[in-house]
A and B are shown apart, each in its own frame.
Chain A
Amino acid sequence: MNAGAIRLENVTLGYERRPAVHHLTGVIGPADALAVCGPNGAGKSTLLKGLAGLLKPIGGRILREKLSLRDIAFLPQAAEIDLTFPIDLFDFVATGATRRIGFFGGMDRREEERVEAAIAAVGLEGFEDRQLGALSGGQTQRALFARLIVEDRRVILLDEPFGAIDASTIDDLVKILARWREERRTIVAVLHELELARRAFPQTLLLAREPIFWGSTREALSESRLGEASRMVEAFDREARECRRDETPHAA
C-alpha cells in the first residue's frame, strides 16, 4: 500500500488573512510517519485541516501526488462528535465503510467481518451493543481508531489522538500505529506527548506558526529547538501589515 507524496509549497494557512501556519515547505513522503509538535496556537490543527482538504491555503500550494482527498482519513479532536447520538459501537465503527458502500448500499458479510476485526484490534470485543455515549473516554478513542481501520485509507491524519487517555490505552493504540506503518500507510499526527513522538515517529515537524524544524525526531525535539518554538507563538498583532515575504525584488 504505497501512498503518493504530499508536497507543501510555501503554504500559508489561516483564518481571515491571519496566518496560523506561515510559509511551510516540505514533503510528506509515502509511508512516512510524521509527528507535528509545538505549543498551543502553533497551527498544528490548522495544518491537519489543510492536509485533509477542509481548509484551503491562503498562500502557496498543497500538492497531493497520486492521491486524492478520498485517500485521506482524518481524525479530528474528539469534541466534534455528538456522543449523545443514539448509535451502538458496532454501527458507529461500521460508518467507516461509508466510502465503499455509499449512503445507500448495504453491509455485506465482508464488511461486517472488517468491522468485527477492527473492534477486536482495538480491544473492544464484547462492547458491540454498547451505546456510543456509554463508552469511557479511552473506549471512545479506541472506537474512533476502529473506525479508521475500517476506513482503510492510505493516508491517516490524527489530531491529538492521545489526549486525556490512560497509559494502557495509549500502548494499545500505538500498536495500531505500528501496524499501519507496516502496511506502509502515511501517518501524520499532532502530538503533545513528546515521548510518544520519540517512540513511534521517525520524523517530526516542530511548528510555531513558522516552521522551526522538519526532520528527524531526535533533532527536532532538542531542548534548544523546543525553547525556540515556545518563544515564537505570540498573540496576533493587530497592527500586522501585509506579508511581503513572497515578493522578489525587481531586477533593474
Chain B
Amino acid sequence: MLHELLIAPFADYEFMRRALVGALALAVSGSPLGVFLILRRMSLAGDALSHAILPGAALGYLVCGLSLPAMTLGGLAAGLAVAVVSSAAARFTALREDASLAAFYLVSLALGVALVSLKGSNIDLLHVLFGSALALDDETLIFLAAIASFTLFALAGFYRALALDTLDPVFARRVGPLGEAIPFAFLALVVLNLVAGFHALGTLMAVGVIMLPAASARLWTQDLTIALPLAAAVGAASSYFGLVASFRTGLPAGPVIILTAGGAYFLSLIFGRSGGVMRLRRPRRHLEG
C-alpha cells in the first residue's frame, strides 16, 4: 500500500525519477541560501531577483527557442545585472536598496513577459513562468546537479565570511581579504540557484523552494548549524511529497511542490519550538534565575 503510494510512481516512470533528482538538487542547495537571505533581512530581495531573471531568459528564448544554454546565460546575465545595478543605485542615489530593487524587478518582469509574447504561444509563457519539472532532459539534470554541487561547495568555503558579513558587515570588510565582494558573491549564488530553479519550477516558483524551507527551519531552531541542514531536509521532503501529490492529483508539479513546502511552513508557524504560535501563546514556566 505504502509502496504503491510513495515508491511506485518513481519506480514505474522515468520522468518522475528525473523530476525527483532535479527537485532534490534544487532544494538541497537553495534552502541554505534562504536561511542566509532571512538572516540578512533580504527575503523579498530573493523574490525580486527571481522576477529579474525573466527578460534575460526570454531574450535567450527569442533568439534560440527553448534552449537550455541560451536561456540560462540570458537569465544569469539579467539577474546579476539587476543585483549589481540596483545595489549601485541604492548606493549612489536617494533611493534605498528595497525601493530600487522593486523598481528594477518590476521593469524586468514587464519586459520579460512582453518579450516572451513577442514570439511564443501562451504555452511557452507558462513554461517560463511555472517551469516543467516533469520534462527534464539529461542536459538540464546535469546542469541542475552541477549548480547544486557548486553552490554547496561555495557555501561551505565561504561560510565564515558570509556569517561574519551578516553579523557585522563593517567588521567583516575591515578584517577580511574579500571585503566588499562578500554580499555580491552571495547574491550571485542566489541568482545562480534561481536560474537553475526556473528550468524545473519556473521563474515565479523557483524562489519558493529557497525561502519556504528556510523560513520553516528558522521556526524550529536558533542554531545556524542546525538550521542549514534542517532547511535542506525540509526542502527535500517537500520536493518528494510534492511530486507524489502532483502525480496523484494530476496538478502541475512546480506549484504542488511549493504548496507542500508552504504546508511545512504553516505547521512550523503553529508548532515551531523557536517562535511558533503555540510556544509563544503557552510559554513554559519561568526559571529560578
Residues of A within 8 A of B (CB): 52, 54, 69, 74, 76, 80-82, 85-87, 92, 95, 98-99, 102-104, 131, 151
Contacts and interface: CB of A to CB of B under 8 A. Distances in A.
Nearest to B41: A82
Contact of B168 (A52, A81, A103): A81
Given A80-B168, A80-B170, A81-B168, A103 B223 contact: no
Interface in B159-207: 160-161, 163-164, 166-171, 174-178
A69 B223 CA distance: 34
B167 A87 contact: yes
B170 A54 contact: yes
B224 interface: yes
B170 A85 contact: no
Most chain A beta-carbon contacts within 10 A, residue among B164, B166, B168, B176: B168
Given A95-B164, A104-B160, A86 B222 contact: yes
B175 A98 contact: yes
A82 B168 contact: yes
A102 B166 CA distance: 17
Nearest to A96: B175
B46 to A, nearest CB: 18
A135 to B, nearest CB: 14
Contact of A95 (B171, B178, B224): B171
Main secondary structure of the interface of B (DSSP, over half): helix
A103 B169 contact: no
Contacts of A151: 175
Contacts of A87: 163, 167, 224
A101 to B, nearest CB: 9
A92 B163 CA distance: 11
Contacts, number: 52
What is the size category of the interface that chain B forms with chain A?
A: 20 to 34
B157 interface: yes
A146 to B, nearest CB: 14
A131 B39 CA distance: 15
B170 A104 contact: no
Interface of B: 39, 157-158, 160-161, 163-164, 166-171, 174-178, 222-224, 227
Contacts of B176: 98, 102-103
Given A82-B168, A85-B167, A104-B160, A74 B222 contact: no
B164 A86 contact: no
Contact of A104 (B157, B164, B168): B157
A103 B170 contact: no
Contact of B164 (A69, A80, A98): A98
Contacts of B223: 86
Contacts of A74: 170, 174
Nearest to B159: A103
A120 B104 CA distance: 50
A82 B171 contact: no
7 A-B pairs with least C-beta separation: A103-B161, A85-B167, A98-B175, A86-B222, A81-B168, A99-B175, A103-B160
A103 B174 contact: no
A99 B171 CA distance: 11
A52 B170 CA distance: 11
B275 to A, nearest CB: 12
22 contacts: A69-B174, A74-B170, A74-B174, A80-B168, A80-B170, A81-B168, A82-B168, A85-B163, A86-B223, A87-B167, A92-B167, A95-B164, A95-B168, A95-B171, A98-B176, A102-B176, A103-B160, A103-B164, A103-B176, A104-B157, A104-B160, A131-B222
A37 to B, nearest CB: 23
B39 A85 contact: yes
